[in-house]
Every structure is written in structure tokens, then in C-alpha cells.
Amino acid sequence: MLPKEMDNFFSSNVHLQKLPNHLLQYIVDQDYSKYTSVDQAVWRYVMKKNLDYLPKVIFGDYLQGLNKAGITIEKIPDLYGMNRILQDVGWAAVCVDGFIPPQAFMEFQAYKVLVIAAEIRQLKHLEYTPAPDILHEAAGHAPIIPDEKYSRYLQLFGEIGSNAFSSSTDLDLFESIRTLSILKEAPNSSSLEIEKAQKEVERIQKKAQNEELSEMSKIRNLHWWTVEYGLIGSLEKPKIYGAGLLSSIGESEWCMSSAVKKILYNINASVVNFDITKPQPQLFVTPDFDHLINVLEEFASEMAYKKGGIDGLRKAISSNSISTIQYENGIQISGVFTELVSKNNDLVYIKTNGPTALSYLNKELKNHSTKNHPEGFGAPVGKIKNFNISSLSIDVLRKGSYVTFEYESGLLLSGKVVDFVLNNDKILIVTFMDCEIKYYDQILYDKSWGIYDLICAENIISCFPKAADKKSFPPKTYMYKSETIKVNYSQKEKDIHSLYKEVRDYRENQPDFNRLRVIFDSLIQKSSSEWLIILEIAQLAQKLDNKLFIDAKNYLIDLSNNNPNNKKLILDGLRIL
């Protein structure tokens, strides 16, 4: 999106203007002109089918939800207009290129911004698409957002999810699923390419089975079984609120059958994995949205950003990426954590490797940027014998004095005090010269290494997967391993598109009704299997040309009998007429 277009887009909704810079890299231009008349017909068919069926099974008023989200049955929504309306319910929307990294997805949600895949499913994937598309995101998520409790749940989920640690396997699995979904949705992918991508997903999934589920894996499961595939109400007569079900005209019907097991939603759903490319064999039912929030808060209470400690440090090390730990005095260390020393499962000492920054309550401290700590940082954890370092003040410790601190763990720190970082009279950090830190026979910091900064605190109360102050580190561009495949249409396909456009033009402008008969006859002469355009013609002819309507209807019935893959879609379309 060009800078001027970006400015115009962001001005359409105040929530977009609150997005931090590092999320902007994921936003792409919707490029509304790229949607073909076939795409518009696909949107219209699915939405008419939804409007016919979903009011019977959806939680809340489906049509009212669409209106409040700025979505119509007749055409794919333009995000400019959609955003102006979404602003009234406290949300916004942006287009992205298919799946985006889970951390970024969660952050967008925390800022009350829906991420919407710019693409729309192919005609052959009408009932269920293996890739995210605008039908799923716009027509699935948006109609439920006006519900205040659900809206709060979504935002809270984003806030909590953006603090979840991922593992390297999580990112590998994300990339492999993204690649598979792209290939499955692309029209010209070979079966060999798809099979190879499928095996790669299965390989990583098998690897993940031998690893402990990361926080992101667990919260991603909770998201799937609620936001994407959630049911609400009783086990016997649930209603749909999950976007994946609302946007899948096949699965929204199948999920209500006895073939799909219904389970009462609880925190155990966090360890139930899913396959995004297939319909789900079981679904979870929540009694109400308050229950969703309660389960989410129960899950969050055990996360590293709430508990800190040695388990949090291990998750930070496992992530192998920039993370932050926070002490009880508000001092934060941000960097790549690589080592810890422990005793009886209690932390003794921690280390980062490479550029590290120190912050106080999410703001980088002066003289403690990555330039001041380019090679890493080490810090003791725990109590000092007969001394409370957390309450250290300038009345107790003087510049120029030599001190020795003996920790209960056995760690010894000694050196000359040369400076402080203060919060009023309370010392947050002490800077030493000639500092030595020993843990029994292990030298953790040598005098020859220069000045040392000691954090005056005992416990790590929080660990989370990002920098405390994002300005501490240069912005990082995420590089996908696979890009969405752009469709290059053949001349034959372009000719079909032009016929769809003529039919659509008639619906919108009604220039020449006789042209519909000409289009229909030309399709019959070619024994065309383009059932959706004929269904569009049948609808338009229903009130104006009974003979054309009957001819189109009979042709569609013949097509349904000769094409079992599309039979249900064709007959459902005729039934709705």
C-alpha cells in the first residue's frame, strides 16, 4: 500500500491509528479491483446460503450483526467502508497476506483490529477453504463482534496471547501450515507439491508431539476451539459463534449433527490440537461468554508473564528470541536469554547473550541501551543473607564504598560502588567497579570485564516474549518462507469472468434482459459446467422470464445429477430460490 493510500486507509478508523509500527509490515492493500465477478458470485452464494441457514443456529441476530459490521450479502466488503462502520462498535479491520505469525495476530486483536485475508476462496472450495479468506474473516468474525462480552473476550485474548511464549517448533509449524494452505488453495498446484507440503506438516507435528506444548501452542488451541470453532449454550442444543463455522457453509451444517462430538468447554481444551486443513471431529460448548473469560483468566494465571520464576526463564530460553524478565522493583532485562544457574530448582543467576537493554516499567533507562550492554548481561536472583536488597537506599549505600553481598544461594558479589539508578531515594541499580561474582568455584563475572550493574531486587515476577521498550531494538521484518500464489487466468477463464460480469451488471443496472438468454444459450451449446452463473441467471429470470427460469433450473438439475461433487451446492442454491 502506498504511503498516501495508507494515510487515507488509517484515517477511516481511529483504532487503526493506535497500531504500533512493528505491526504495519503485515498489512497489505486489499486492492478491491482484483476481485473478479466470479469472486463476487462466490461471496453472494455463500452469504445467501448463510442467511438462509445461520439464523437458525447462530448465537444472536446474524443479519443485525452483519449490518453493524458494514457487511452486505451482495458484494465483497470494501475495508474502507467497513472500517467506518466497525468504528461504531469499537473495532477495525486490516487486510493481510494469508496466515500471519501467531504473536502478530494476537497483538492485532489486543488493539481491537481484525486481520482479514485479502483473498477469497475458489469456487471449488465453496464449502470449506484450507486457507484464510475474506469470507472467513469478515463474514465469520465480524457479525459476533457487536456483542459486548464477546468483544471484551476477543480483546482480552489478544492481550494475553501476545504475552505467550512460542517455541522454534511453533514457528516451523506455522510456516509449514501456511505453505500447505497456500498450495491447497492455489488453482494450479500439483498433487506432488501438496503431498510434499502435507508430509512436512506431519513431520513437524510428529516432532511437536515429543515436546512440551508451548504457551502459544496452548493458547492457539484455546483460540481455535472458541473464536474459530466455538459453540455456545447447552450440549444438547448449542448455537454457533465461532468464525470458522459461520463462514463454512458445509461445516456449519455438519457440526450440528451427532457425528461431531460436543464437549463442555474448559481449560483442558488448551492441550487438544487440531488440523486446520480438515473439518473438526469434536467441538467445545461454552454455556456463555463469561465462562470463556473465566477459562482464559484461569489459563493466564499460570503463564510466565504472570508467574515469572525459573519456569518463566526456561520458556524465555526455549524461545531463542528477544524476551523480557521483570523484577519486583520494576526493572526489566530485555534480550536473548541463554543460560541460568539454579539450586534446588531456585534461580541463582541468569544470562543473556548479545545486545541487551535495561528498562524501568517499559521505558528504557538512560545509559542502559543495547549500546551499553552489547555482549550480554548477567544478574543474580534471590535473597542476600541478613539484608533486604529490595529496600536499599542511598542512606545505606555510599558511592566509593567497597561491599560484599553474600546470597542465600551461596553466590558472592563484591566490588566498589560508583553509581546508582534511583527512584526517589530508593536504589534500583548499583553500578560497581572491580566487581567479581562467584558461585562456589564458578566465576560468573570477572573484575577485568569492566563495570557491573546490579539490579537491587530478589525475585523475577514476570517473563514475556518481547522487549520491554520496543525502541530498544531495531525493528525486525518478518520474512515468510512462502508467499500467497497470485492467480494467472487463462483466456478461457477470462471469457467466463466476462460472462459473470454481464450477469452481475444486469442485476445492478438491468440494461438488457435479453442478453441473459444469449449467455445461457451459449453456455448450453458448450455443455458448460459453470453452475454458479446459471444459478445467477435463474434467480434473475425467476420473476421476469418463466421459460428462461425453467430452462436454467432444469439444466442445473441435470448438472447436479452428473456432478456429485457439486450436487448439494446446486440443489441448495435452487432451494433458496
Q: Is the pLDDT of residue 129 over 80?
A: no
- At residue 271's C-alpha, the angle toward residues 281 and 204, to 5°, is 85
Grade residue 456 by pLDDT with cuts at 50, 70 and 90. very high
Grade residue 393 by pLDDT with cuts at 50, 70 and 90. confident
Cα–Cα dist 251/290, whole Å: 26
- Please give the average per-residue pLDDT across 192-218, as a whole number: 92
Provide, rounded to the nearest whole percent, the portion of the chain with pLDDT above 70.
98
Q: Is the pLDDT of residue 276 over 80?
A: no
* Model pLDDT for residues 398-438, shown as the tens digit of each residue: 899 999 999 999 999 999 999 999 988 889 999 999 999 99
Q: Which pLDDT score, from 0 to 100, does residue 321 have?
A: 94
Q: Which pLDDT score, from 0 to 100, does residue 142 have?
A: 83
* CATH match of 3-166 with 1.10.800.10: yes
Q: Which pLDDT score, from 0 to 100, does residue 324 have?
A: 98
* Model pLDDT for residues 178-189, shown as the tens digit of each residue: 999 899 888 888
What separation, in Å, do the N-terminal and C-terminal C-alpha atoms of the chain show?
40
Grade residue 397 by pLDDT with cuts at 50, 70 and 90. confident
Q: Is the pLDDT of residue 475 over 80?
A: yes
User: 10 Å Cβ neighbour count for 118?
Assistant: 23
Q: Which pLDDT score, from 0 to 100, does residue 248 have?
A: 79
Return the sign of the alpha-carbon dihedral for residues 229, 235, 241, 247.
positive
Q: Which pLDDT score, from 0 to 100, does residue 208 have?
A: 87
The type of residue at 72 is T
Domain ranges of the chain: 3-166, 305-472, 491-576
User: Average model confidence (pLDDT) for the chain?
Assistant: 92
Q: Which pLDDT score, from 0 to 100, does residue 6 have?
A: 67
The type of residue at 70 is G
Return the sign of the alpha-carbon dihedral for residues 356, 362, 363, 365.
negative
Return the sign of the alpha-carbon dihedral for residues 562, 564, 565, 568.
positive
User: 10 Å Cβ neighbour count for 486?
Assistant: 8
Name the least confident of 53-57, 195-199, 444-448. 53-57
Q: Is the pLDDT of residue 197 over 80?
A: yes
Cα–Cα dist 323/356, whole Å: 10
* Model pLDDT for residues 533-565, shown as the tens digit of each residue: 999 999 999 988 999 999 999 999 999 999 998
Cα–Cα dist 328/512, whole Å: 75
78, 82, 83, 86 alpha-carbon torsion, rounded to 10°? -160
Q: pTM of the predicted model, to two decimals?
A: 0.90
Output the CA–CA distances (angstroms, integers) from residue 446 to 361, 416, 419, 439, in the order listed. Answer: 29, 13, 19, 12
Beta partners for 27? 96
Kind of pairing, strands 92-96 and 411-423? unpaired
Name the least confident of 17-26, 67-76, 118-127, 358-367. 118-127
Q: Which pLDDT score, from 0 to 100, does residue 253 have?
A: 86
